[in-house]
Structure 1
Amino acid sequence: MTQYTFPTGFFWGAAASGPQTEGDINKPHRSIWDSWFREQPERFFQQIGPQKVCETYDKFREDVALMKQTGFNSFRTSIQWSRLINDLETGEPDADAVRFYNAYFDEMISNGITPMINLYHFDMPEVLQKRYGGFESAHVTELFARFARTAFQLFGHKVKHWITFNEPIVPVEGGYLYDFHYPNKKDGKLAAQVAFNIMLAHAKAVRIFRETVPNGEIGVVLNLTPSYPRSDSDADKKAAWYADLLFNRSFLDPLVKHEFPKELCEILATHDCLPEMQAGDAHLITSSAIDFLGVNYYVPRRVKARESAYTLDYFTPEYYFENYVDPDGRFNPYRDNNEILPQAIYDIATNIRDNYGNIKWYLAEIGIAMDEESEGQPQADGVIDDTFRIRLMEEHLLQLHRAITDGSQCFGVHQWTFIDNWSWINSFKRRYGFWRLNLTTGERQIKRNALWFEKLARSNTLTISTPEGEQ
């Protein structure tokens, strides 16, 4: 057996979000997901929407007990803007939401679980999207800042770890480039405007946080997907450089390095996609300092130089490259054939260490997708056998431990997710949880991954069986 011990005080837990777990009971407003499902239920896998999901609103005490049983010392979820705020213009809170979130956070804290609370996980209130265009509008960045102030004032005395946005590029991609999020537009200029306004909303929230939660920390969670070229040719390497610039550095550089990449601005200008802004907006973004970075990682990005003409009538990053599938790659046979590349964890960590001031960071999401059929039914001991997931997590954590040994300041790991939860238009197509959610009964059923994780978290040590003959 070989043991790999992680730093003292390391965070072990899971990540989730309000809209994917709470259900819509007692919300004063619909989110865009509530309304989109009502408008186009056929877009959602098996026509399952966000109305019920995990019932966390009613079952949070039961769930926190299961978190503790699984060994968590921390947990990330989000506050729903459409739940907390009653008056979306003034930021006045809803009394029932205040009661619910206070009780939920208190339950975590009393069970030794540190809450990490995110403000935005893709869930724009419907009325703000319909009335203003959501983050197409600078006014909505002000409304977000009022929402943030309310949250900090209500819960900042007990919650000390805050996140402004989870994966801020995803609403840009899904809603304005690739049609997998509402409002289903395809417009490169609007995409750039939304991206800029999200960063502006982030910066305004950070400024308010500094005024209201002096003893806390605030960060942002980015999905950093390394871009690997098909070959060592100059053209393929340039394609990978473009992909990294447009998908990773577009948010990472302004929010961590405090600068907008010159090349990004030039590309946006070339395609008439530069965002509109007021004097001082860009400076507010680049002068806004975060305390930590969260990183979500699932799969690598493989790219090659374009070999065919770009045919879309609006700008997307693929103007500069084509996606590529590595014929020698390793793939997940259980869900969508996604590529598996644990080495990417080390590459992400060393990039943060070497190019972003070695900012402290944590692995905010990582998960191995399976479907319910491939996980199978509970075995004789009542445990669902997802050993496939465990073996792959061990490989990824080995790469993370190697990066920490080499000086990367990673302070935790949160797996996606605690209980199988609802996932946007995929609904329950993909399963990631430590615990299975029975969609009929609401029962939580333990998986072998949860038993493995409990030992890992309590010991703070990854123990790997060494094959016979190896040292």
Structure 2
Amino acid sequence: MKYQFPENFWWGSAASGPQTEGAADVDGRKPSIWDYWYEIEPGRFFNGVGPKNTSNFYYQYKEDIALMKETGHNSFRTSIQWSRLIPDGIGEVNPKAVEFYNNVIDEMLKQGVEPFMNLYHFDMPLSMQEKGGFESREVIEAYVTFAETCFKLFGDRVKYWFTFNEPIVPVEAGYLYDMHYPNVVDFKRAAQVAFGTTLAHAKAVKAYHALNLDGKIGIILNLTPSYPRSQNPADLRAAHIADLFFNRSFLDPVTRGEFPSDLVEILRERDFLPNYEPEDLEIIKENTVDILGVNYYQPRRVKAKENMPHPDAPFMPEHLFDNYEMPFRKMNPYRGWEIYEQAIYDIAINLRDNYGNIPFFISENGMGVEGEERYRNSDGFIEDTYRIEFIESHLKWLHKAIAEGANCHGYHLWTFMDCWSWANAYKNRYGFVEVNLDENYKRTVKASGKWFKTLTSQNGF
């Protein structure tokens, strides 16, 4: 069967500034929480590899953008690092950073690659974290100033803006599960950070629309459909609660302008509601997104609780449901994630039916594989046929959703080239392009990158 995609479909990939640029202490950039955490606890990082050099995009961006064109990209998302553009979080703009981002944007446009620009990819400037991160009003306002600065500097050429990538991740990882700095385990503070992030997002949307620029603004959410173990009412309720916490906590306010009432009720019962001003809710209500980016990697499978949590344990969302391991599930063993392609269809149909068929695109999807060099062929490039199969099998389900009226405008793989990741350094490789750290960051297009060129030139497969 031939899978043809709509005209002007966005084909490309996604990355982030902190994971690719490197040059962490160069040209006026100041530390983010990652630089600081690595400095104080290097043992928390895989193989002790920190965020300093990553993939060297700061120096090799011209070569990389040429490779984007060569691999058939018509669009690419990255992020502007707050700690590079406004090194103190507030105050002076760094001219070296303006020059770098201008060069990147101009080079992309020259090569026919539409820049999609995200403003926050887990990379809180250290100076802002010291003021309380998104628990702090001052930091929320500083973020809005940063966003507005970006719109004014680059908004004449960048037509697609995103306020946050996966805003729930800093909430979960930084304030609940002790996976990211600041390693707080406190549900009430997590709820405050989530609210502060939502407010910062809405204020940035408002600022963007006030400038009357010719473009669209949205947010990137990682949506993980919650599937119940069975149709038993207790399992269905567990799946509903997981969906409230991990999907609808951000999806509803950014698209509908309000928080789900069931979620508010759960928080109110336990005295976890964040502090806010009445006008905050008005700002969130009135400033919804133009477009939604959807990151999809894996489903969430849940069942009703089997044992009650200890009464003195800090509250977690999992106190209300249990995770469920479905028998015979298909796995990516390197990441420990289930591969379930149909979920991409389920997400699209949910957006169609319950969220006004909002325009969206798949902003990340991909598979990380450890030890990819064992697939190197005699021509010297990596034969990652597993990645091609992974993409194709997801695109088939996405194609079905589009055929049934879902308003999907594109597909971006995570990621363009192998990059550093927050906890795994370079253990799992995700890119269309191999980055050889031992050979001066040498770039080599993998089989998937060559295949992607064919896919995008035919707008289907």
> Which category describes the TM-score, using the shorter chain as reference length?
over 0.9
**Distance (whole Å) between structure 2 residues aligned to residue 383 and residue 439 of structure 1:** 15
Q: 2:71 touches 2:450 (CA, 8 Å); kept in 1?
A: yes
**Distance (whole Å) between structure 1 residues aligned to residue 209 and residue 256 of structure 2:** 19
Q: 1:217 touches 1:291 (CA, 8 Å); kept in 2?
A: yes
- Taking every aligned residue pair, what percent have the same amino acid on both sides? 53
Structure 1 counterpart of 2:415: 417
**Distance (whole Å) between structure 2 residues aligned to residue 27 and residue 6 of structure 1:** 44
Structure 1 counterpart of 2:40: 39
Structure 1 counterpart of 2:240: 241
Structure 2 counterpart of 1:351: 350
Structure 2 counterpart of 1:465: none
Q: 2:155 touches 2:213 (CA, 8 Å); kept in 1?
A: no
AA matched with 1:48: V
Are 1:186 and 2:185 matched, yes or no? Answer: yes
AA matched with 1:417: T
**Distance (whole Å) between structure 2 residues aligned to residue 368 and residue 215 of structure 1:** 34
**Distance (whole Å) between structure 1 residues aligned to residue 28 and residue 48 of structure 2:** 21
Structure 2 counterpart of 1:385: 383
**Distance (whole Å) between structure 2 residues aligned to residue 213 and residue 162 of structure 1:** 13
Q: 1:156 touches 1:213 (CA, 8 Å); kept in 2?
A: no
**Distance (whole Å) between structure 2 residues aligned to residue 403 and residue 430 of structure 1:** 30
Count of matched residue positions in the alignment of Structure 1 and Structure 2? 457
**Distance (whole Å) between structure 1 residues aligned to residue 140 and residue 362 of structure 2:** 27
**Distance (whole Å) between structure 2 residues aligned to residue 343 and residue 414 of structure 1:** 17
Q: 1:389 touches 1:449 (CA, 8 Å); kept in 2?
A: yes
Shift of 1:86: 3.9
**Distance (whole Å) between structure 2 residues aligned to residue 213 and residue 207 of structure 1:** 10
Q: 2:366 touches 2:390 (CA, 8 Å); kept in 1?
A: no
Shift of 1:296: 0.2
**Distance (whole Å) between structure 1 residues aligned to residue 216 and residue 102 of structure 2:** 19
Shift of 1:164: 0.3
**Distance (whole Å) between structure 1 residues aligned to residue 16 and residue 393 of structure 2:** 26
AA matched with 1:414: H
**Distance (whole Å) between structure 1 residues aligned to residue 341 and residue 317 of structure 2:** 25
Structure 2 counterpart of 1:455: 454
Shift of 1:87: 4.6
Structure 1 counterpart of 2:321: 321
- Pairing 1:353-368 to 2, within 5 Å after superposition: 353-368=352-367
**Distance (whole Å) between structure 1 residues aligned to residue 212 and residue 152 of structure 2:** 8
- Pairing 1:24-423 to 2, within 5 Å after superposition: 24=24, 25-90=26-91, 92-130=92-130, 132-311=131-310, 313-333=313-333, 335-371=334-370, 373-423=371-421
Q: 1:306 touches 1:321 (CA, 8 Å); kept in 2?
A: yes
Shift of 1:279: 2.8
Post-superposition CA distance 1:243-265 (Å, at most 9, x none)? 00111011111110222111111
Question: Secondary structure of the residue that 1:436 maps to in structure 2?
Answer: strand
Larger mean Cα displacement after TM superposition, 435-444 or 114-123:
435-444
AA matched with 2:446: K
Q: 1:157 touches 1:213 (CA, 8 Å); kept in 2?
A: no
AA matched with 2:324: Y
Q: 1:302 touches 1:325 (CA, 8 Å); kept in 2?
A: yes
**Distance (whole Å) between structure 1 residues aligned to residue 298 and residue 179 of structure 2:** 18
AA matched with 1:344: A
**Distance (whole Å) between structure 2 residues aligned to residue 279 and residue 304 of structure 1:** 36
Question: Secondary structure of the residue that 1:393 maps to in structure 2?
Answer: helix
**Distance (whole Å) between structure 1 residues aligned to residue 27 and residue 436 of structure 2:** 23
Q: 2:359 touches 2:409 (CA, 8 Å); kept in 1?
A: yes
Question: Secondary structure of the residue that 2:428 maps to in structure 1?
Answer: coil
Shift of 1:389: 1.4
AA matched with 1:121: H
Shift of 1:89: 2.7
**Distance (whole Å) between structure 1 residues aligned to residue 305 and residue 49 of structure 2:** 38
Structure 2 counterpart of 1:469: none
- Pairing 1:423-434 to 2, within 5 Å after superposition: 423-434=421-432
Post-superposition CA distance 1:22-41 (Å, at most 9, x none)? 11122431000011011111
Question: Secondary structure of the residue that 2:410 maps to in structure 1?
Answer: strand
Larger mean Cα displacement after TM superposition, 436-445 or 136-145:
436-445
Structure 2 counterpart of 1:467: none
**Distance (whole Å) between structure 1 residues aligned to residue 356 and residue 77 of structure 2:** 25
Shift of 1:341: 0.5
Question: Secondary structure of the residue that 2:438 maps to in structure 1?
Answer: coil
AA matched with 2:47: Q
Question: Secondary structure of the residue that 1:376 maps to in structure 2?
Answer: helix
**Distance (whole Å) between structure 2 residues aligned to residue 431 and residue 383 of structure 1:** 14
**Distance (whole Å) between structure 2 residues aligned to residue 21 and residue 198 of structure 1:** 24
Question: Secondary structure of the residue that 1:5 maps to in structure 2?
Answer: coil
| Unaligned 5+ runs, structure 1 | 463-471
Larger mean Cα displacement after TM superposition, 80-89 or 418-427:
80-89
Structure 1 counterpart of 2:433: 435
Shift of 1:88: 2.7
AA matched with 2:262: E
Q: 1:376 touches 1:385 (CA, 8 Å); kept in 2?
A: no
Post-superposition CA distance 1:437-457 (Å, at most 9, x none)? 112221112211111111111
Shift of 1:154: 0.4
Shift of 1:82: 0.1
**Distance (whole Å) between structure 2 residues aligned to residue 253 and residue 279 of structure 1:** 18
**Distance (whole Å) between structure 1 residues aligned to residue 28 and residue 12 of structure 2:** 27
Output the TM-score relative to the length of structure 2: 0.97
**Distance (whole Å) between structure 1 residues aligned to residue 72 and residue 29 of structure 2:** 34
Q: 1:13 touches 1:72 (CA, 8 Å); kept in 2?
A: yes
AA matched with 1:415: L
AA matched with 2:33: I
Question: Secondary structure of the residue that 2:3 maps to in structure 1?
Answer: strand
Question: Secondary structure of the residue that 1:280 maps to in structure 2?
Answer: helix
Output the TM-score relative to the length of structure 1: 0.95
Shift of 1:103: 0.3
Question: Secondary structure of the residue that 2:423 maps to in structure 1?
Answer: helix
**Distance (whole Å) between structure 2 residues aligned to residue 199 and residue 68 of structure 1:** 35
Question: Secondary structure of the residue that 1:120 maps to in structure 2?
Answer: coil
Question: Secondary structure of the residue that 1:3 maps to in structure 2?
Answer: coil
AA matched with 1:433: G
Larger mean Cα displacement after TM superposition, 193-202 or 378-387:
378-387
**Distance (whole Å) between structure 2 residues aligned to residue 455 and residue 163 of structure 1:** 28
Shift of 1:216: 0.9
